[in-house]
Amino acid sequence: MKVLVINSGSSSIKYQLVDPATAEVAASGVVQRIGEEVEPDVVTVEHSCGDRTFEYRGSIADHAAGLHVVFDLFTAAGQDLAHADLGAVGHRVVHGGEVFYQPTVIDDTVVKAIEDLSALAPLHNPPNVIGIESARALLPDVPQVAVFDTAFFHQLPAAAKTYAIDAEVAAAHGIRKYGFHGTSHDYVSGQAAEFLGRERADLNQIVLHLGNGASASAIRAGRAVDTTMGLTPLEGLVMGTRSGDLDPGIIFHLIRTAGMDVDDVDALLNRHSGIKGISGVNDFRELGQLIETGHPTAKLAFDVYIHRLRRYIGAYLIELGRVDAITFTAGVGENDARVRAEALAGLERYGIRVDADRNAERSRVARRISADDSEIAVLVVPTNEELAIARASAELVG
């Protein structure tokens, strides 16, 4: 049985056809620039299937049109989805609010509820809903499953999830820490336990998901007890283009004195801040190159990023009391040895000793980068949210 995993963003759809039992990826691809008028020769869909790639050029009017093209490319590649032994379509849904905390089979009521949660995730839930509706229309006989980014953090302790604001206002507007990247934190902490040959229930872990978006989590005996992202995916670590934590007073100040409205501030903090805001680039490969050339603010951006990351590592060491493993994952965490080295430098007295040679090695598999005498195991574990969504979907539909 295979699962088609769909991650539908505002102007893109990423997808993967994967066998949840073997993790084998039969095909994957991305639809980009949805809703944009592009020249007829611009590639907007790239579809890979084994070592073959198929492309579609030209404008993609909307998500439904994008999925139509994807289905045609599956057929062109000899993998007609109608005959692909498709057991489910698994959708990544960013915000499950208080309502959804486990993978859920999608029906009209579920779609409506996900739509209703859009106020909490205006950038994410609406495109998720469009992706779901398009896939349901195109594959009406295949069960569709929603897997929520917030689910792993549903049971955060009250002290961790409660914002210290007027309780009635908070309750009336669903204001609490929800956390995001949950599928990744859950999957990676499971993989880390497997790598260490230990039960997840016996381990306390810190997971550092450092991609373009970034979040950290503290996990006690398999259950998340804290995480850096909050009501929205804006809180916490410094990210590619997002500010992470800041003084909320900055927002009032900008609105009162800089002539910005709410949408301006939203765009500033979500799209023009973080590493990009300070240095002009959001990709760590480019940032590394700029640092080498002595760029005036690239090193500062790196230092601010590391400073925030270390602050949370320290907080979670204290919160958990005993930590067995610290695991790096996602684009930056899996690939940037310097980030890993600096995040954990000088923490020997806390039982953390990174081995420089192990850290410098490049690999695509789970590995240990701590020295043999490091009390806390430091690992790099590639995340695989698609596989986790496929497995959750397959399990649910049986």
* Cβ–Cβ under 8 Å, residues 329 and 382: yes
Q: Residues 72, 141, 149, 202: which is the catalytic one?
A: 149
Whole-angstrom Cα distance, residue 329 to residue 172?
Answer: 36
* Cβ–Cβ under 8 Å, residues 219 and 238: no
Beta carbon of residue 284, minimum distance to ligand AMP (angstroms, whole number): 4
Q: Does 143 bind ligand AMP (CB under 6 A)?
A: no
Q: Does 330 bind ligand AMP (CB under 6 A)?
A: yes
Among 264, 283, 348, 355, binds ligand AMP (CB under 6 A): 283
Q: Does 270 bind ligand AMP (CB under 6 A)?
A: no
| Contact residues for 297 (Cβ-Cβ < 8 A; gap 6+) | 278, 279, 280
139 vs 380, which CB is nearer to ligand AMP?
380
Q: Does 332 bind ligand AMP (CB under 6 A)?
A: yes
Beta carbon of residue 336, minimum distance to ligand AMP (angstroms, whole number): 4
* Stretch in the footprint of ligand AMP (CB under 6 A) among 24-32, 169-177, 290-298, 326-334: 326-334
Q: Does 240 bind ligand AMP (CB under 6 A)?
A: yes
Map tokens 């009390």 to a residue.
Answer: 375
Strands 223-227 and 204-210 turn out to be unpaired
* CA distances, 35 to each of 54, 67, 109, 394 (Å): 21, 13, 27, 32
Beta carbon of residue 180, minimum distance to ligand AMP (angstroms, whole number): 12
Q: Does 335 bind ligand AMP (CB under 6 A)?
A: yes
Among 212, 241, 270, 297, binds ligand AMP (CB under 6 A): 212
Query: Is 261 among the catalytic positions?
Result: no
Beta carbon of residue 237, minimum distance to ligand AMP (angstroms, whole number): 13
Beta carbon of residue 250, minimum distance to ligand AMP (angstroms, whole number): 25
Beta carbon of residue 213, minimum distance to ligand AMP (angstroms, whole number): 6
* Stretch in the footprint of ligand AMP (CB under 6 A) among 36-44, 132-140, 280-288, 319-327: 280-288
332 vs 394, which CB is nearer to ligand AMP?
332
Q: Concatenated DSSP letters for 287-349?
A: HHHHHHTT-TTHHHHHHHHHHHHHHHHHHHHHHHSS--EEEEEHHHHHH-HHHHHHHTTT-GG
Angle between helical axes of 298-320 and 284-292 (0-180°, round to 10): 120
Task: Enter the tokens of residue 119.
Answer: 């106020």
Task: Enter the tokens of residue 381.
Answer: 């574990």
15 vs 100, which CB is nearer to ligand AMP?
15
Q: Does 284 bind ligand AMP (CB under 6 A)?
A: yes
Where do the DSSP E strands lie in the chain? Answer: 2-8, 13-18, 25-31, 43-49, 52-57, 86-93, 104-105, 144-148, 204-210, 214-220, 223-227, 325-329, 367-368, 377-380
Known catalytic residues?
Answer: 149
Binding site for ligand AMP (CB under 6 A): 211-212, 240, 283-285, 330-332, 335-336
